[in-house]
Amino acid sequence: MSAVVEKPAALDEAAFADLKAELTAWVTGPGEEWAERIEATGDVPPELFAELRERGYLSLAAPPALGGRGIPFPRYLELMEIVSRSHASVRMLVHVINGTWRAMAPYATPQQLDEIVKPSVAGDALVAFTLTEPTAGTGADLRTTVRREGDTYYLNGEKHLITFGVKCDYWLLAARLEGTRGHEGTVALLVPNDGLPGVEVVDDSETMGVRGTDHAILRFRDVPVPVSTRLGDEGQGLEVALGGFLLPSRVSVAMSCVGLAERAQELAIEYANRRETFGKKLRDRQAVQFYLAENYADIAAARALVLQAARAYEDGAPDAGALSSASKMVAVDMLARVTDKALQIHGGQGYWHRNAIERVYRDARAQRFEEGTNEIQKLVVARAVLDGTAGF
Protein backbone atom coordinates (compact mmCIF):
# COMPACT_ATOMS: atom_id res chain seq x y z
CA MET A 1 0.00 0.00 0.00
CA SER A 2 1.34 3.43 -0.94
CA ALA A 3 2.16 5.99 1.76
CA VAL A 4 1.61 8.99 -0.50
CA VAL A 5 -1.50 10.33 1.28
CA GLU A 6 -0.05 12.63 3.92
CA LYS A 7 -1.75 14.91 6.41
CA PRO A 8 -2.43 18.34 4.89
CA ALA A 9 -0.18 21.23 5.83
CA ALA A 10 -1.46 24.34 7.60
CA LEU A 11 -3.61 26.44 5.30
CA ASP A 12 -2.59 29.93 4.20
CA GLU A 13 -5.83 31.67 5.15
CA ALA A 14 -5.22 34.79 3.06
CA ALA A 15 -4.49 32.74 -0.05
CA PHE A 16 -7.52 30.56 0.65
CA ALA A 17 -9.77 33.62 0.96
CA ASP A 18 -8.45 34.82 -2.40
CA LEU A 19 -9.18 31.40 -3.92
CA LYS A 20 -12.75 31.46 -2.62
CA ALA A 21 -13.25 34.94 -4.04
CA GLU A 22 -11.80 33.86 -7.39
CA LEU A 23 -14.00 30.78 -7.51
CA THR A 24 -17.11 32.76 -6.60
CA ALA A 25 -16.39 35.27 -9.35
CA TRP A 26 -15.95 32.44 -11.86
CA VAL A 27 -19.17 30.67 -10.81
CA THR A 28 -21.27 33.84 -11.05
CA GLY A 29 -19.61 35.01 -14.29
CA PRO A 30 -18.13 32.53 -16.78
CA GLY A 31 -19.73 29.62 -14.93
CA GLU A 32 -23.22 30.94 -15.71
CA GLU A 33 -22.29 31.37 -19.37
CA TRP A 34 -21.06 27.77 -19.47
CA ALA A 35 -24.30 26.67 -17.78
CA GLU A 36 -26.39 28.25 -20.52
CA ARG A 37 -24.24 26.62 -23.20
CA ILE A 38 -24.47 23.19 -21.58
CA GLU A 39 -28.24 23.43 -21.25
CA ALA A 40 -28.55 24.49 -24.88
CA THR A 41 -26.31 21.76 -26.31
CA GLY A 42 -26.64 18.96 -23.75
CA ASP A 43 -22.87 18.55 -23.75
CA VAL A 44 -19.86 19.57 -21.67
CA PRO A 45 -17.38 20.89 -24.25
CA PRO A 46 -13.66 20.05 -24.03
CA GLU A 47 -12.91 23.75 -23.62
CA LEU A 48 -14.74 23.82 -20.29
CA PHE A 49 -12.80 20.81 -19.02
CA ALA A 50 -9.58 22.53 -20.11
CA GLU A 51 -10.57 25.75 -18.34
CA LEU A 52 -11.29 23.94 -15.07
CA ARG A 53 -7.97 22.13 -15.38
CA GLU A 54 -5.97 25.27 -16.14
CA ARG A 55 -7.54 27.12 -13.22
CA GLY A 56 -6.51 24.29 -10.90
CA TYR A 57 -10.07 23.48 -9.86
CA LEU A 58 -9.59 19.76 -10.57
CA SER A 59 -6.59 19.42 -8.23
CA LEU A 60 -7.75 21.25 -5.11
CA ALA A 61 -7.82 18.44 -2.56
CA ALA A 62 -5.03 16.02 -3.52
CA PRO A 63 -1.71 16.31 -1.66
CA PRO A 64 1.26 18.10 -3.26
CA ALA A 65 3.01 14.74 -3.71
CA LEU A 66 0.32 13.92 -6.28
CA GLY A 67 0.34 17.36 -7.85
CA GLY A 68 -2.56 18.83 -5.90
CA ARG A 69 -2.96 21.88 -3.68
CA GLY A 70 -3.36 19.85 -0.49
CA ILE A 71 -6.39 21.74 0.81
CA PRO A 72 -7.73 19.99 3.96
CA PHE A 73 -11.00 18.15 3.40
CA PRO A 74 -13.31 20.39 5.50
CA ARG A 75 -11.88 23.50 3.80
CA TYR A 76 -12.09 21.89 0.36
CA LEU A 77 -15.81 21.44 1.05
CA GLU A 78 -16.11 25.21 1.41
CA LEU A 79 -14.99 25.37 -2.22
CA MET A 80 -17.37 22.57 -3.20
CA GLU A 81 -20.16 24.62 -1.63
CA ILE A 82 -19.34 27.46 -4.04
CA VAL A 83 -18.88 25.22 -7.10
CA SER A 84 -22.24 23.57 -6.45
CA ARG A 85 -24.03 26.87 -7.06
CA SER A 86 -22.95 26.48 -10.68
CA HIS A 87 -24.20 24.01 -13.29
CA ALA A 88 -24.49 20.44 -12.03
CA SER A 89 -22.07 19.13 -14.66
CA VAL A 90 -19.41 21.59 -13.51
CA ARG A 91 -19.95 20.41 -9.96
CA MET A 92 -19.76 16.79 -11.08
CA LEU A 93 -16.37 17.24 -12.74
CA VAL A 94 -14.87 19.06 -9.77
CA HIS A 95 -16.39 16.61 -7.28
CA VAL A 96 -15.32 13.38 -9.01
CA ILE A 97 -11.81 14.38 -10.05
CA ASN A 98 -11.07 15.82 -6.62
CA GLY A 99 -12.26 12.55 -5.06
CA THR A 100 -11.17 9.50 -7.04
CA TRP A 101 -7.52 9.91 -6.05
CA ARG A 102 -8.56 9.13 -2.45
CA ALA A 103 -9.54 5.62 -3.50
CA MET A 104 -6.56 5.05 -5.76
CA ALA A 105 -3.53 6.57 -4.04
CA PRO A 106 -3.37 4.47 -0.83
CA TYR A 107 -3.41 1.23 -2.86
CA ALA A 108 -1.59 2.21 -6.05
CA THR A 109 1.78 0.88 -7.12
CA PRO A 110 4.47 3.43 -8.03
CA GLN A 111 3.71 2.77 -11.69
CA GLN A 112 -0.03 3.32 -11.18
CA LEU A 113 0.70 6.53 -9.30
CA ASP A 114 2.79 7.90 -12.17
CA GLU A 115 0.67 6.65 -15.06
CA ILE A 116 -2.88 7.09 -13.73
CA VAL A 117 -3.25 8.79 -10.34
CA LYS A 118 -1.07 11.84 -10.93
CA PRO A 119 -2.44 12.44 -14.47
CA SER A 120 -5.95 12.19 -12.97
CA VAL A 121 -5.16 14.83 -10.36
CA ALA A 122 -3.68 17.04 -13.09
CA GLY A 123 -6.82 16.69 -15.18
CA ASP A 124 -4.96 14.86 -17.93
CA ALA A 125 -6.78 11.55 -17.37
CA LEU A 126 -10.40 10.94 -16.38
CA VAL A 127 -11.23 8.04 -14.05
CA ALA A 128 -14.85 6.87 -13.69
CA PHE A 129 -15.95 5.25 -10.43
CA THR A 130 -17.55 1.98 -11.56
CA LEU A 131 -19.45 0.17 -8.84
CA THR A 132 -23.24 0.18 -9.38
CA GLU A 133 -24.90 -2.77 -11.13
CA PRO A 134 -28.41 -3.25 -12.57
CA THR A 135 -28.99 -6.54 -10.72
CA ALA A 136 -27.29 -5.77 -7.41
CA GLY A 137 -26.75 -2.96 -4.95
CA THR A 138 -23.48 -1.17 -4.42
CA GLY A 139 -21.75 -3.35 -1.86
CA ALA A 140 -21.09 -6.93 -0.90
CA ASP A 141 -23.70 -8.28 -3.35
CA LEU A 142 -21.55 -7.47 -6.40
CA ARG A 143 -22.16 -9.86 -9.29
CA THR A 144 -19.52 -8.67 -11.74
CA THR A 145 -16.77 -11.31 -11.61
CA VAL A 146 -13.20 -11.94 -12.62
CA ARG A 147 -11.60 -15.29 -13.37
CA ARG A 148 -7.86 -15.41 -12.94
CA GLU A 149 -5.68 -17.25 -15.41
CA GLY A 150 -2.01 -16.58 -14.74
CA ASP A 151 -1.35 -12.85 -15.02
CA THR A 152 -4.74 -12.08 -16.54
CA TYR A 153 -8.23 -11.56 -15.12
CA TYR A 154 -11.20 -12.29 -17.38
CA LEU A 155 -13.94 -9.83 -16.51
CA ASN A 156 -17.66 -10.62 -16.84
CA GLY A 157 -20.71 -8.63 -15.77
CA GLU A 158 -22.60 -5.39 -16.19
CA LYS A 159 -22.45 -1.94 -14.62
CA HIS A 160 -24.88 0.93 -15.01
CA LEU A 161 -25.36 4.59 -14.01
CA ILE A 162 -21.61 5.06 -14.45
CA THR A 163 -20.83 8.77 -14.52
CA PHE A 164 -18.16 9.63 -17.13
CA GLY A 165 -18.25 5.97 -18.16
CA VAL A 166 -18.42 6.84 -21.86
CA LYS A 167 -15.63 9.40 -22.16
CA CYS A 168 -13.30 8.35 -19.34
CA ASP A 169 -9.78 7.01 -19.78
CA TYR A 170 -10.10 4.39 -17.00
CA TRP A 171 -12.87 2.65 -15.12
CA LEU A 172 -12.12 2.28 -11.39
CA LEU A 173 -14.08 -0.94 -11.24
CA ALA A 174 -15.14 -3.22 -8.38
CA ALA A 175 -15.68 -6.93 -9.03
CA ARG A 176 -15.20 -10.25 -7.26
CA LEU A 177 -13.31 -13.43 -7.89
CA GLU A 178 -15.58 -16.14 -9.24
CA GLY A 179 -17.00 -18.30 -6.46
CA THR A 180 -16.54 -15.79 -3.61
CA ARG A 181 -19.18 -14.08 -1.48
CA GLY A 182 -19.50 -10.97 0.66
CA HIS A 183 -16.37 -8.85 0.99
CA GLU A 184 -14.17 -11.89 0.48
CA GLY A 185 -12.53 -11.99 -2.93
CA THR A 186 -13.54 -8.52 -4.08
CA VAL A 187 -11.03 -6.67 -6.24
CA ALA A 188 -10.60 -3.11 -7.49
CA LEU A 189 -9.25 -2.72 -11.01
CA LEU A 190 -8.13 0.25 -13.10
CA VAL A 191 -9.48 -0.92 -16.44
CA PRO A 192 -8.43 1.17 -19.47
CA ASN A 193 -11.25 2.40 -21.70
CA ASP A 194 -9.27 1.83 -24.88
CA GLY A 195 -11.21 -0.70 -26.90
CA LEU A 196 -10.53 -3.89 -24.95
CA PRO A 197 -12.15 -6.92 -26.62
CA GLY A 198 -15.44 -7.96 -25.04
CA VAL A 199 -16.39 -4.49 -23.74
CA GLU A 200 -19.69 -2.88 -24.73
CA VAL A 201 -20.18 0.79 -23.82
CA VAL A 202 -23.74 2.10 -24.08
CA ASP A 203 -24.20 5.87 -23.88
CA ASP A 204 -27.03 6.39 -21.37
CA SER A 205 -26.69 10.15 -20.91
CA GLU A 206 -30.29 11.30 -21.45
CA THR A 207 -31.27 12.27 -17.91
CA MET A 208 -33.76 14.55 -16.17
CA GLY A 209 -31.03 16.88 -14.95
CA VAL A 210 -27.23 17.18 -14.77
CA ARG A 211 -27.29 17.69 -18.54
CA GLY A 212 -23.94 17.39 -20.28
CA THR A 213 -22.43 14.78 -17.98
CA ASP A 214 -22.12 11.45 -19.75
CA HIS A 215 -23.33 8.21 -18.15
CA ALA A 216 -22.77 4.67 -19.33
CA ILE A 217 -24.08 1.16 -19.22
CA LEU A 218 -21.06 -1.15 -19.39
CA ARG A 219 -21.14 -4.83 -20.34
CA PHE A 220 -18.11 -7.10 -20.03
CA ARG A 221 -17.78 -10.52 -21.62
CA ASP A 222 -14.54 -12.36 -20.95
CA VAL A 223 -12.60 -9.10 -21.11
CA PRO A 224 -8.88 -9.73 -20.58
CA VAL A 225 -7.53 -7.38 -17.90
CA PRO A 226 -3.94 -7.66 -16.66
CA VAL A 227 -3.62 -8.52 -12.96
CA SER A 228 -1.24 -5.55 -12.78
CA THR A 229 -4.26 -3.22 -13.10
CA ARG A 230 -5.47 -4.28 -9.65
CA LEU A 231 -5.44 -1.74 -6.81
CA GLY A 232 -4.41 -3.33 -3.52
CA ASP A 233 -4.80 -7.03 -2.84
CA GLU A 234 -7.49 -9.53 -3.66
CA GLY A 235 -10.15 -9.10 -0.99
CA GLN A 236 -9.68 -5.31 -0.75
CA GLY A 237 -12.02 -4.32 -3.57
CA LEU A 238 -14.82 -2.99 -1.39
CA GLU A 239 -12.33 -1.41 0.99
CA VAL A 240 -11.06 0.65 -1.94
CA ALA A 241 -14.56 1.48 -3.21
CA LEU A 242 -16.44 2.11 0.03
CA GLY A 243 -13.84 3.53 2.40
CA GLY A 244 -11.55 5.07 -0.17
CA PHE A 245 -14.16 6.82 -2.29
CA LEU A 246 -17.74 6.56 -1.10
CA LEU A 247 -17.28 7.66 2.51
CA PRO A 248 -15.73 11.09 1.76
CA SER A 249 -17.69 11.36 -1.49
CA ARG A 250 -20.98 11.17 0.41
CA VAL A 251 -19.88 14.13 2.51
CA SER A 252 -18.90 16.02 -0.64
CA VAL A 253 -22.29 15.27 -2.22
CA ALA A 254 -23.95 16.47 0.99
CA MET A 255 -22.09 19.77 0.69
CA SER A 256 -23.09 19.99 -2.95
CA CYS A 257 -26.69 19.85 -1.71
CA VAL A 258 -25.95 22.79 0.57
CA GLY A 259 -24.44 24.82 -2.27
CA LEU A 260 -27.30 24.09 -4.65
CA ALA A 261 -29.85 24.90 -1.93
CA GLU A 262 -28.11 28.23 -1.39
CA ARG A 263 -28.44 28.95 -5.12
CA ALA A 264 -32.15 28.09 -5.00
CA GLN A 265 -32.62 30.37 -2.00
CA GLU A 266 -30.73 33.15 -3.75
CA LEU A 267 -32.97 32.88 -6.80
CA ALA A 268 -36.08 32.84 -4.60
CA ILE A 269 -34.97 35.97 -2.76
CA GLU A 270 -34.23 37.78 -6.04
CA TYR A 271 -37.66 36.89 -7.38
CA ALA A 272 -39.47 37.79 -4.16
CA ASN A 273 -37.78 41.19 -4.19
CA ARG A 274 -38.93 42.06 -7.72
CA ARG A 275 -42.23 40.24 -8.22
CA GLU A 276 -45.40 42.16 -7.40
CA THR A 277 -48.94 40.77 -7.11
CA PHE A 278 -52.06 42.75 -6.28
CA GLY A 279 -49.94 45.81 -5.59
CA LYS A 280 -47.66 44.11 -3.11
CA LYS A 281 -44.15 42.65 -3.37
CA LEU A 282 -43.85 38.94 -2.70
CA ARG A 283 -41.21 39.74 -0.08
CA ASP A 284 -43.91 41.45 2.00
CA ARG A 285 -46.19 38.41 2.08
CA GLN A 286 -45.94 36.37 5.27
CA ALA A 287 -46.22 33.01 3.50
CA VAL A 288 -43.18 33.83 1.37
CA GLN A 289 -41.29 35.13 4.39
CA PHE A 290 -41.95 31.86 6.19
CA TYR A 291 -40.68 29.86 3.21
CA LEU A 292 -37.46 31.85 3.13
CA ALA A 293 -36.97 31.61 6.88
CA GLU A 294 -37.50 27.85 6.85
CA ASN A 295 -35.03 27.52 3.95
CA TYR A 296 -32.42 29.54 5.82
CA ALA A 297 -32.68 27.36 8.92
CA ASP A 298 -32.70 24.16 6.86
CA ILE A 299 -29.55 25.12 4.97
CA ALA A 300 -27.68 26.25 8.07
CA ALA A 301 -28.46 23.05 9.97
CA ALA A 302 -27.42 20.79 7.09
CA ARG A 303 -24.19 22.72 6.52
CA ALA A 304 -23.20 22.33 10.17
CA LEU A 305 -23.69 18.55 10.03
CA VAL A 306 -21.75 18.27 6.77
CA LEU A 307 -18.76 20.10 8.24
CA GLN A 308 -18.94 17.90 11.35
CA ALA A 309 -18.84 14.82 9.11
CA ALA A 310 -15.90 16.28 7.17
CA ARG A 311 -13.87 16.84 10.33
CA ALA A 312 -14.66 13.32 11.52
CA TYR A 313 -13.42 11.87 8.24
CA GLU A 314 -10.21 13.92 8.30
CA ASP A 315 -9.55 12.91 11.92
CA GLY A 316 -10.28 9.23 11.27
CA ALA A 317 -12.99 9.27 13.94
CA PRO A 318 -14.84 5.99 14.60
CA ASP A 319 -18.17 7.61 13.75
CA ALA A 320 -16.95 9.06 10.43
CA GLY A 321 -18.93 6.52 8.40
CA ALA A 322 -22.16 7.13 10.28
CA LEU A 323 -21.75 10.90 10.04
CA SER A 324 -20.97 10.65 6.33
CA SER A 325 -24.23 8.83 5.65
CA ALA A 326 -26.18 10.99 8.10
CA SER A 327 -24.94 14.19 6.49
CA LYS A 328 -26.01 13.06 3.04
CA MET A 329 -29.34 11.79 4.36
CA VAL A 330 -30.12 15.14 6.00
CA ALA A 331 -28.72 17.28 3.17
CA VAL A 332 -30.67 15.66 0.33
CA ASP A 333 -33.95 15.92 2.24
CA MET A 334 -33.11 19.56 2.99
CA LEU A 335 -32.40 20.22 -0.69
CA ALA A 336 -35.74 18.76 -1.71
CA ARG A 337 -37.60 21.04 0.70
CA VAL A 338 -35.62 24.16 -0.18
CA THR A 339 -35.86 23.77 -3.96
CA ASP A 340 -39.58 22.98 -3.74
CA LYS A 341 -40.25 26.15 -1.75
CA ALA A 342 -37.98 28.20 -4.00
CA LEU A 343 -39.88 26.98 -7.05
CA GLN A 344 -43.21 27.69 -5.34
CA ILE A 345 -42.14 31.28 -4.66
CA HIS A 346 -41.57 31.65 -8.40
CA GLY A 347 -45.13 30.45 -9.06
CA GLY A 348 -45.82 29.38 -12.63
CA GLN A 349 -42.76 31.28 -13.89
CA GLY A 350 -40.50 28.79 -12.16
CA TYR A 351 -41.79 25.93 -14.31
CA TRP A 352 -40.41 27.43 -17.50
CA HIS A 353 -37.00 26.42 -18.82
CA ARG A 354 -35.95 30.06 -19.28
CA ASN A 355 -35.73 30.55 -15.51
CA ALA A 356 -32.69 29.27 -13.64
CA ILE A 357 -34.77 27.79 -10.82
CA GLU A 358 -36.18 25.22 -13.27
CA ARG A 359 -32.68 23.79 -13.89
CA VAL A 360 -31.81 23.91 -10.19
CA TYR A 361 -35.00 22.02 -9.37
CA ARG A 362 -34.21 19.27 -11.93
CA ASP A 363 -30.57 18.99 -10.92
CA ALA A 364 -31.47 18.69 -7.24
CA ARG A 365 -33.19 15.36 -7.81
CA ALA A 366 -29.94 13.62 -8.78
CA GLN A 367 -28.35 13.91 -5.33
CA ARG A 368 -31.10 11.72 -3.89
CA PHE A 369 -29.50 8.63 -5.40
CA GLU A 370 -25.91 9.79 -6.03
CA GLU A 371 -23.50 7.75 -3.85
CA GLY A 372 -26.40 5.71 -2.49
CA THR A 373 -30.06 6.42 -1.81
CA ASN A 374 -31.32 7.71 1.52
CA GLU A 375 -32.68 4.25 2.23
CA ILE A 376 -29.10 2.93 2.07
CA GLN A 377 -27.81 5.80 4.21
CA LYS A 378 -30.40 5.02 6.88
CA LEU A 379 -29.28 1.40 7.01
CA VAL A 380 -25.66 2.49 7.49
CA VAL A 381 -26.59 4.93 10.24
CA ALA A 382 -28.94 2.50 11.97
CA ARG A 383 -26.23 -0.17 12.03
CA ALA A 384 -23.80 2.26 13.64
CA VAL A 385 -26.38 3.39 16.18
CA LEU A 386 -27.25 -0.17 17.16
CA ASP A 387 -23.66 -1.36 17.52
CA GLY A 388 -22.63 1.72 19.48
CA THR A 389 -20.17 3.25 16.99
CA ALA A 390 -22.30 6.23 15.98
CA GLY A 391 -21.37 8.41 18.95
CA PHE A 392 -22.74 11.85 19.79
* Mean pLDDT of the residues in the chain: 93
Write down the pLDDT at residue 3: 44
The 10s digit of each residue's pLDDT in 89-121 is: 999 999 999 999 999 999 999 999 999 999 999
Are 198 and 224 part of one and the same domain? yes
| 218, part of any domain | yes
The 10s digit of each residue's pLDDT in 40-74 is: 999 999 999 999 999 999 999 999 999 999 999 99
Are 230 and 250 part of one and the same domain? no
Are 179 and 49 part of one and the same domain? no
**List of the chain residues with pLDDT < 70:** 1-9, 137-138, 392
| 229, part of any domain | yes
Write down the pLDDT at residue 325: 95
Domain count, the chain: 3
Are 308 and 289 part of one and the same domain? yes
User: Could you list the active site residues?
Assistant: 371
Write down the pLDDT at residue 119: 97
Q: Which of 188, 216, 235 is the last residue of a domain?
A: 235
Are 163 and 227 part of one and the same domain? yes
Question: 268, 291 in Cβ contact below 8 A?
Answer: yes
The 10s digit of each residue's pLDDT in 192-212 is: 999 999 999 999 988 888 999
CATH of the domain at 354: 1.20.140.10
| 100, part of any domain | yes
Are 224 and 157 part of one and the same domain? yes
| 161, part of any domain | yes
Write down the pLDDT at residue 225: 98
Q: Which of 80, 101, 122 is the last residue of a domain?
A: 122
CATH of the domain at 225: 2.40.110.10
| 374, part of any domain | yes
Domain coverage including residue 178: 127-235
Are 73 and 161 part of one and the same domain? no
Are 262 and 161 part of one and the same domain? no
| 287, part of any domain | yes
| 64, part of any domain | yes
CATH of the domain at 36: 1.10.540.10
Are 143 and 258 part of one and the same domain? no
Are 265 and 361 part of one and the same domain? yes
| 1, part of any domain | no
Are 242 and 381 part of one and the same domain? yes
Q: Which of 235, 254, 272 is the last residue of a domain?
A: 235
Are 286 and 357 part of one and the same domain? yes
